[in-house]
Amino acid sequence: MCTLVLWNDNPVAKVVGRSLDWMFSDEPDLWFYPRGLERDGHGGDGSTRWTSRYSSVVLSGWRTGSSDGINERGLAAHILYHDGAIYEPADQRPTLSHVMWVQWALDQYSTVDEVLDHLADVRITSQLVNGIVMALHFAVEDRTGDSAIIELVDGALVVHHGPEYRVMTNAPKLDDQLANLARYSAFGGDLPLPGDIESPQRFVRANYFLEHLPEPADAREVVAGVLSVIGNTAVPFGAPDGDWGTYPTWWFAAADITALRYYFRSTRSPFTIWVDLADLADSREVRSLNPRDPELQGEVSGALAPTALAY
């Protein structure tokens, strides 16, 4: 379970934020990747390869791939869980693991249009992640406020493209989420605002509260506003879940696409940390840190240490 919110219609900054909910931690690490890295799509036989054109700051999950991040040109990219995604059948195109999709996009492209122009160049494949079959969907945003949500439905790519696509949660598919949204009074229907933590209810609440954010005075208020909406969809530790025992929110992240600043907060810590990509963009070394360290707070660009490439 996860929730993503893009605030792209305020006059100050374009900011996107998201949460990660799961039955256990994905053990995120924070990475800086420089230009010029030789990359493999980890898609098995026929995997695509590329050389990074842009530097990026990303989060990894279990050190198997990038789950969220931003590049030096102001493109942000994300993967979220989407139960029921059916991947494309095998063909002659190079393959790309779904957990490498974020890095594939951030390494090579600067706008949503560029990502979509090259989306069909590769065939996205699924793999076990930490022993789990992980079905995913994808989102990208850029400095103009453009946005796209990309799903795999019945073995085909389905793209929703435009700045109006500002909220993403999990299943069902986006067309069904939008149809459900119209049933609620704030969006033309009769139902009151829902309070559950299931994906359709979080989708409704995130849309509602995003629409009611006050005009911000500065970029900090934009980031705070986005995180406040995401926080309204979060699940506290210990909250019971019928299928998994508990299913809490482990972290929040936000990308200020305008200022090229990336924020992270572990729900095990009261502190938010951030990285200014401009301070790192010309570095030639892979760098990382453990953002779950409860002592970290504030700006941590200088704390990312040179390290080996993990995936």
Paired with 31 in beta bridges are 58, 288
Choosing from 2, 4, 59, 152, the catalytic residue is 2
Strands 240-241 and 245-246, how do they pair?
Answer: antiparallel
Instruction: Check if the beta carbon of residue 20 is closer than 8 Å to that of residue 254.
Output: no
Q: Which long-range contacts (CB under 8 A, 24 or more apart) does 233-240 make?
A: 233/3, 233/19, 233/169, 233/197, 233/202, 233/205, 233/206, 234/3, 234/19, 234/21, 234/267, 235/1, 235/21, 235/197, 237/267, 239/197
Question: How far is residue 16's CA from residue 145's CA, in Å, rounded to a whole number?
Answer: 10
Question: How far is residue 306's CA from residue 287's CA, in Å, rounded to a whole number?
Answer: 4
Instruction: Check if the beta carbon of residue 208 is closer than 8 Å to that of residue 228.
Output: no
Q: Could you say which DSSP state residue 303 is in?
A: G
Question: How far is residue 184's CA from residue 301's CA, in Å, rounded to a whole number?
Answer: 43
Question: How far is residue 51's CA from residue 37's CA, in Å, rounded to a whole number?
Answer: 5
Q: Could you say which DSSP state residue 115 is in?
A: H
Query: How many CB atoms are closer than 10 A to CB 239?
Result: 12
Tell me, yes or no, if 2 is annotated catalytic. Answer: yes
Q: Which long-range contacts (CB under 8 A, 24 or more apart) does 304-307 make?
A: 304/30, 304/31, 304/32, 304/275, 304/280
- Among 155, 146, 24, 152, residue whose Cα is nearest residue 77: 146
Question: How far is residue 102's CA from residue 152's CA, in Å, rounded to a whole number?
Answer: 15
Residues catalogued as catalytic: 2
